[in-house]
Amino acid sequence: MIDRTDHSAAARIRPTRGSTDAIVVHRFAVDLDRDGAFTFDEAIAFFTRDPEGIATVAFAGSYAEKIPTIERWRERGVPAVYEHAGFVPYHVVVDARGDRAQMLRLDARGAHASAWNDRSVAVAVLWRCDLRAPPDDLVNGAVRAIADLLAAYPQAEVISHDETLTRAGRPPKGCPGSHFPLAHVVARAREIVGQG
């Protein structure tokens, strides 16, 4: 696994998480007009330089509540006080080749699923799984990432970002997406760590 935990100052100083009850699976898709792969550098650039990405991780609350701030920052620029607040909110990301990068310390509090941030680790696949099936290499990389996390946190349940939303009474948003084979990935990961 590639260590990218130094991708921003904010990533290096994240507070420690309270517990690890879940592994939450996401998809990262910054360009909604693109249906293919994204890179580690694109994820880093979005969350550390783009007004939308910085606002996403710098403020609590729903995305809808952040829209006025995002729009203001797009017009006027990100205020200096927030320029260095951005960080990739997922602990591990997986690209189309199946390569894995650790973006946060495993004990760090992420910013990926509001009510779950203090009790979960996050894995994000860099693919539009809401539009089409990911390549086998990405699926295999996701299996390895989740297996590694299950080895560290054997009691954790593996759930989708959508599941965190529906448990909170909110509508799902297609994350990681209907084309991501979550049940298959989890079953393979559990077999690897002897939980199958």
* Token pair for 70: 């995002």
Q: What CA–CA distance (Å, rounded) separates 102 from 145?
A: 10
33: confidence class by pLDDT, cuts 50, 70, 90? confident
Q: How high is the pLDDT of residue 182?
A: 98
pLDDT in tens, 15-31: 999 999 999 999 998 77
More confident residue, 34 or 130: 130
The average pLDDT across 168-188 equals 94
Residue 32 has pLDDT above 90, yes or no: no
Alpha helices in the chain (DSSP H): 9-12, 40-49, 51-58, 63-76, 136-152, 161-167, 182-192
**Which residues 6+ apart lie within 8 Å of 159 measured at CB?**
22, 23, 24, 25
